[in-house]
């Protein structure tokens, strides 16, 4: 753990962790690749394409534009923060410096659970593709077993160290490009059945009502797509010149990853043979059907192998982010078992026990998903809620600090646009959170209809109970709330006779 540090100057001088145990083995492109593989255009699109098309028809593709614009504002705010505070752990230490210990503790708690659930959601989404690749039936039980295997393989690669993580990120980036661009171009050239006009035709997905509710339900594919850029900041202590490199990597992740995801979705949309069959529920897995129709069994399995690389690299990136967050928590003595969780393997330059937690908890969630009838959608929805919730806690902390006098002073700042961008990011995040929690299945029991909000309430409630009963949030001596300038009262004049 780092020792006591002096408060940051009121001007907001960039501050890192001078006693960091991490090695700066991650270059700029590896840092970008880490965020890109976490954001993963292939994973999100292949996982939720069928669900989004069922809910909203072809115009669901506009969800990528909506979410991309909103999350780009968030990425700009994060870029300012990480440029000033390049500390491992991402949203937790940022919230700590911007607001204070308690707010940071809750931000990290929500983000930690969201990451752990997202690890499960990504690995779970890979299950059917693993089954097809190796030729067995993708049942619920085989999907859970495939999920477990993927999580274990990912954590073993993470244990190999930062260089292995960087290599996995770059390989995953290459796999993403093949899965998104090469497969997409092939589908457009050989298997296109529709023109671009389909993106304005709902094919009756809305039924007899307005299209807006159908689109908002389908927008889950866009919300799930656009996070991962914060992982660039989670490894801030492993990158040289982080104040310059990481904000740029975050922005690249959004616009390159978003463009790749939109192209992947478009190529699949134009290659679907019968939209009505998907919307009616007759065709359950349009992605697999499109690949088999366009490429045959051998070609489809080759694509599955490439897609599996994307799922694995995304899981690796998520575990890396979760492990560093847990380590950052433990380093500041903010959680039970901190003495164990802050242990660091100097041989491999990784927080071993923190990484172990980032694999063990998702494994438990995966096996627990056997109790849910609609496990994938529920897991993904809660992951989005947690990620967006923790993001907005940082965005709100930044807005509060800005209004109280914080002036970002890192190598990347928004200048006079900072306040407007910050407010816009907060408004978008609030809209996304309300939308993802909204109950849309009145035919189901109330507890299933509101399961995402209920799970969010459990995480928030348990976090508050844990925080105020253990008081771990107050143990660490790392700086907190020092982004806001401390205004000192001027000395009072002495008006005693003879001293006026």
Q: What is the pTM of this model?
A: 0.83
- Among 4-8, 49-53, 161-165, 444-448, which is the least confidently predicted range? 4-8
Q: Is the pLDDT of residue 4 over 80?
A: no
- Among 6-15, 88-97, 390-399, which is the least confidently predicted range? 6-15
pLDDT at 497: 45
pLDDT at 15: 55
Report the percent of the chain where pLDDT is more than 70. 91
- Provide the mean pLDDT of the chain: 85
- The CA-based angle 259-249-107, given to 5 degrees, is 100
pLDDT at 263: 94
pLDDT at 10: 39
Burial class of residue 307 in the structure, from the number of CB atoms within 10 Å of its CB (0-12 exposed, 13-18 middle, 19+ buried): buried
For residue 350, tell me if it sits in a domain.
yes
Give the side-chain half-sphere CA count within 13 A for 298: 0
Task: Evaluate whether 88 touches 22 at the Cβ level (below 8 Å).
Answer: yes
Task: Please give the Cα distance from 449 to 432 (Å, whole number).
Answer: 18
Q: Is the pLDDT of residue 270 over 80?
A: yes
Task: Please give the Cα distance from 81 to 395 (Å, whole number).
Answer: 10
Task: Please give the Cα distance from 75 to 428 (Å, whole number).
Answer: 12
16: left (phi over 0), alpha (psi -120 to 50) or beta: beta
Mean pLDDT of all residues in 343-367: 85
**What backbone phi and psi angles, to 5 degrees, belong to 239?**
-125, 135
Q: Is the pLDDT of residue 494 over 80?
A: no
CA 309 to chain centre: 18
Q: Is the pLDDT of residue 495 over 50?
A: no
Report the percent of the chain where pLDDT is more than 90. 39
DSSP result, 317-348: HHHHHHHHHHHHHHHTT-STTHHHHT--BTTT
Q: What is the residue range of 275's domain? A: 28-474
For residue 20, tell me if it sits in a domain.
no
Under the banding of pLDDT at 50, 70 and 90, the label for residue 47 is: confident
Is the sign of the CA dihedral 424, 107, 324, 331 positive or negative?
A: positive
Higher-scoring residue by pLDDT: 193, 450 = 193
Mean pLDDT of all residues in 61-71: 95
pLDDT at 452: 84
- Among 287-291, 307-311, 462-466, which is the least confidently predicted range? 307-311
DSSP letter (8 states) at residue 179? I
Mean pLDDT of all residues in 397-424: 94
pLDDT at 461: 93
Higher-scoring residue by pLDDT: 141, 370 = 141
Mean pLDDT of all residues in 321-339: 83
**What backbone phi and psi angles, to 5 degrees, belong to 253?**
-60, -40
Task: Evaluate whether 112 touches 327 at the Cβ level (below 8 Å).
Answer: no
For residue 280, tell me if it sits in a domain.
yes
For residue 479, tell me if it sits in a domain.
no
Under the banding of pLDDT at 50, 70 and 90, the label for residue 122 is: confident
Higher-scoring residue by pLDDT: 128, 461 = 461
CA 440 to chain centre: 24
Under the banding of pLDDT at 50, 70 and 90, the label for residue 412 is: very high
Mean pLDDT of all residues in 477-499: 64
Under the banding of pLDDT at 50, 70 and 90, the label for residue 11 is: very low
Q: Which of 316, 254, 321, 258 shows the shortest CA–CA distance to 111? A: 321
pLDDT at 20: 56
pLDDT at 88: 74
DSSP letter (8 states) at residue 20? -
Taking residue 214's Cβ as centre, other Cβ atoms within 10 Å add up to 23
Under the banding of pLDDT at 50, 70 and 90, the label for residue 22 is: low
pLDDT at 13: 47
Task: Please give the Cα distance from 272 to 192 (Å, whole number).
Answer: 8
For residue 448, tell me if it sits in a domain.
yes
Place of tokens 């529709």: 194
Under the banding of pLDDT at 50, 70 and 90, the label for residue 9 is: very low
* Length of the chain as a residue count: 500
For residue 298, tell me if it sits in a domain.
yes
Burial class of residue 16 in the structure, from the number of CB atoms within 10 Å of its CB (0-12 exposed, 13-18 middle, 19+ buried): middle
Q: Which of 124-128, 204-208, 227-231, 444-448 has the highest mean pLDDT?
A: 204-208
pLDDT at 247: 92
pLDDT at 23: 59
For residue 481, tell me if it sits in a domain.
no
Q: 3-state class of 345 per DSSP?
A: strand
Task: Evaluate whether 327 touches 89 at the Cβ level (below 8 Å).
Answer: yes
Long-range Cβ pairs for the range 147-150 (8 Å, 24+): 147/120, 147/123, 147/366, 148/123, 148/363, 148/366, 148/367, 150/123, 150/126, 150/311, 150/312, 150/315
Taking residue 483's Cβ as centre, other Cβ atoms within 10 Å add up to 30
Q: How many domains does the chain have?
A: 1
CATH number at residue 34: 1.20.1740.10
Task: Please give the Cα distance from 206 to 143 (Å, whole number).
Answer: 31
For residue 86, tell me if it sits in a domain.
yes
């Amino acid at each position: 753990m780092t020792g006591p540090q002096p408060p940051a100057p009121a001007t907001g001088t960039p501050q890192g962790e001078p006693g960091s145990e991490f090695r700066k083995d991650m270059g700029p492109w590896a840092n970008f690749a880490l965020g890109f593989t976490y954001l993963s255009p292939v994973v999100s699109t292949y996982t939720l394409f069928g669900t989004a098309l069922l809910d909203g028809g072809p115009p669901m593709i506009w969800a990528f534009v909506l979410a991309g614009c909103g999350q780009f504002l968030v990425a700009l705010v994060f870029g300012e923060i990480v440029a000033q505070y390049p500390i491992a752990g991402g949203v937790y230490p940022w919230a700590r410096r911007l607001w204070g210990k308690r707010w940071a503790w809750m931000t990290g708690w929500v983000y930690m659970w969201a990451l752990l659930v997202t690890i499960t959601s990504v690995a779970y989404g890979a299950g059917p593709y693993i089954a097809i690749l190796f030729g067995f039936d993708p049942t619920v039980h085989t999907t859970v077993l495939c999920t477990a295997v993927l999580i274990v393989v990912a954590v073993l690669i993470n244990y190999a160290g930062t260089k292995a993580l960087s290599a996995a990120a770059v390989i995953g980036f290459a796999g993403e490009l093949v899965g998104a661009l090469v497969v997409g171009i092939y589908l457009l050239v050989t298997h296109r059945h529709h023109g671009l006009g389909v993106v304005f035709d709902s094919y009756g997905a809305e039924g007899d009502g307005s299209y807006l509710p159908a689109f908002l339900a389908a927008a889950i594919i866009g919300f799930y797509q656009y996070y991962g850029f914060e992982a660039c900041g989670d490894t801030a202590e492993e990158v040289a010149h982080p104040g310059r490199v990481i904000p740029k990597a975050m922005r690249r992740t959004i616009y390159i990853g978003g463009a790749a995801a939109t192209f992947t979705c478009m190529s699949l949309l134009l290659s679907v043979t019968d939209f009505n069959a998907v919307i009616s529920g007759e065709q359950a897995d349009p992605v697999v059907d499109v690949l088999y129709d366009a490429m045959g069994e051998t070609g489809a399995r080759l694509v599955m192998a490439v897609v599996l690389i994307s799922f694995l690299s995304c899981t690796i990136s998520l575990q890396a982010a979760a492990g560093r967050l847990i380590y950052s928590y433990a380093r500041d003595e903010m959680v039970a078992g901190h003495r164990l969780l802050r242990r660091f393997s100097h041989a491999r330059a990784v927080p071993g026990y923190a990484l172990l937690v980032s694999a063990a908890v998702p494994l438990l969630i995966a096996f627990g998903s056997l109790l849910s009838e609609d496990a994938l959608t529920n897991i993904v929805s809660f992951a989005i809620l947690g990620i967006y919730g923790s993001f907005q806690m940082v965005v709100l902390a930044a807005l509060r600090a800005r209004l109280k006098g914080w002036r970002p002073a890192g190598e990347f700042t928004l200048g006079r646009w900072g306040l407007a961008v910050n407010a816009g990011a907060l408004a978008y995040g609030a809209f996304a959170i309300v939308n993802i929690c909204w109950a849309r299945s009145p035919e189901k029991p109330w507890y299933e209809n509101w399961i995402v909000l209920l799970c969010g309430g459990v995480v928030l409630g348990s976090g508050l109970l844990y925080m105020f009963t253990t008081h771990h949030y107050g143990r660490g001596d790392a700086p907190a709330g020092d982004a806001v300038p401390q205004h000192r009262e001027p000395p009072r004049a002495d008006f005693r006779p003879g001293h006026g």
